[in-house]
């Protein structure tokens, strides 16, 4: 199985896996712009080739778009294998690619935020690959880490979530990013539902 290494020079050709049939949508365009900026920060995007469907997106923890402190770690933003490609070992192949990249540049390890109840990756793949749970956050988030050196500092959640939330008025406050092209639809659905 070959992996396509997507970068700023070929992202227009290969896309970024999600919303490929909706390249003119606002969500796709926002993600494309966001991704091109992240490539300059060390973002890696690998897509399965050869008719299989899946990808992994990761970045040095210093530039991560998650509420974590993960300096010195490679942080996985997203990993996804879909349809008939599931159950064939492609998730492990993608994960191993990230681990190998992190080792090549001398990082402390790899980290990911998982959840059994949201759109994030489930913990099973990571637990079976040596990742350990290092922290949990309400309502269902778990930070998992694969350390390369036992004496490395451990990644952690940013914390103080309740204090930070207290700075906003009662009611619905939506924070969003252009990291995922589906956020556009999810945000609009949430706002429509709240009215």
> Helix, strand, or coil here: 168?
coil
Phi, psi of 100, deg, nearest 5: -65, -40
What is the C-alpha separation between 163 and 9, in angstroms, rounded?
Answer: 42
pLDDT confidence of residue 194: 77
By percentage, how much of the chain surpasses pLDDT 70?
Answer: 94
Average predicted confidence (pLDDT) for the chain: 88
pLDDT digits (tens, 9 = 90+) for 80-137: 999 899 999 999 999 999 999 999 999 999 999 999 987 788 899 999 999 999 999 9
Residue 181: is its pLDDT beyond 70? Answer: no
Residue 176: is its pLDDT beyond 80? Answer: no
Dmax over CA atoms of the chain, in Å, equals 51
15 or 45, which is more confident? 45
Helix (H) or strand (E) holding 57: strand 54-60
What is the C-alpha separation between 37 and 47, in angstroms, rounded?
Answer: 19
pLDDT confidence of residue 61: 97
CB 111 within 8 A of CB 92: no
- Kindly report the CA angle at 116 between 95 and 97, in degrees rounded to 5? 5
pLDDT confidence of residue 78: 92
13-22, 34-43, 169-178 — which is least confidently predicted?
Answer: 13-22
pLDDT confidence of residue 25: 77
In the chain, the domains with their CATH numbers are 3-194 (3.40.630.30)
All residues at 6 or more sequence positions from 140 whose CB lies less than 8 Å from its CB, including other chains:
115, 116, 117, 118
Exposed, middle or buried by CB within 10 Å (0-12, 13-18, 19+), for 40?
A: exposed
Tokens representing residue 137 in the block: 């956050």
Tokens representing residue 51 in the block: 């008719």
pLDDT digits (tens, 9 = 90+) for 42-79: 999 999 998 889 999 999 999 998 889 999 999 999 99
Residue with tokens 């040596």: 130
- Taking residues 157-170, report their average pLDDT: 82
The band of 15, judged by pLDDT with boundaries at 50, 70 and 90, is confident
């Amino acid at each position: 199985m070959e992996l396509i290494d997507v970068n700023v020079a070929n992202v227009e050709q290969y896309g970024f896996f999600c919303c490929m049939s909706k390249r003119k949508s606002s969500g796709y365009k926002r993600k494309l712009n966001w991704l091109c900026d992240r490539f300059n920060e060390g973002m890696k995007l690998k897509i399965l080739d050869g008719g299989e469907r899946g990808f992994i997106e990761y970045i040095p923890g210093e530039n991560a778009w998650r509420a974590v402190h993960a300096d010195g770690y490679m942080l996985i933003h997203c990993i996804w294998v879909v349809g008939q490609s599931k159950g064939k070992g492609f998730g492990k192949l993608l994960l191993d690619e990230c681990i190998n990249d992190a080792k090549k540049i001398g990082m402390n390890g790899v980290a990911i935020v998982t959840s059994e109840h949201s759109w994030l990756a489930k913990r099973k793949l990571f637990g079976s690959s040596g990742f350990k749970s290092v922290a949990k956050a309400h309502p269902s988030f778990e930070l998992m880490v694969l350390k390369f050196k036992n004496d490395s500092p451990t990644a952690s959640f940013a914390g103080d979530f309740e204090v930070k939330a207290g700075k906003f008025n009662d009611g619905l406050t939506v924070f969003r990013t252009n990291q995922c092209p589906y956020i556009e639809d999810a945000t609009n659905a949430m706002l429509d539902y709240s009215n």
